[in-house]
Structure 1
């Protein structure tokens, strides 16, 4: 079974992004996934798509959360994957 990939769309100076990353790092202790962090400021298309929504968490390309990232919800999604 291929490893789950979580992509965190973020930008510098974003307190919610920092919280989301901390939440994902905590979950990484329980679940096996790779974490990819993408700064939307580096890509006009991503900036346009996610500008007001960040942080955005995608699990295997599927949007799982944005804004306030709930650890319990992400945990449930990861449990479904395993």
Structure 2
């Protein structure tokens, strides 16, 4: 399964979400595209108050404080 994780630099919640996503990918077949919202003005405006944001097939699954259990529930 392919997902997108929208992040930005110097974001502790983003780092935690990325770590948890890596842990989940050990148990589930997940491939994540990591996208820095600061590389695109449109993405920055859309997600700057929500990051990190996990998206699958254009649908936002999770945002903000994304924990391991949240990821397992959303991706199982």
TM over 0.5: yes
Partner of 1:33: 30
The TM-score normalised by the length of structure 2 is 0.93
Aligned pairs (5 A) from 1:1-82: 4-79=1-76
TM-aligned CA deviation for residue 73 of structure 1: 2.3
Q: Structure 2: which 5+ residue stretches go unaligned?
A: none
**Max radius of gyration: which structure?**
1
Query: In angstroms, what is the RMSD of aligned CA positions?
Result: 1.0
TM-aligned CA deviation for residue 72 of structure 1: 1.5
TM-aligned CA deviation for residue 59 of structure 1: 2.1
Q: Structure 1: which 5+ residue stretches go unaligned?
A: none
TM-aligned CA deviation for residue 28 of structure 1: 0.3
Q: Which runs of 4+ in 1 moved over 2 A?
A: none
The TM-score normalised by the length of structure 1 is 0.86
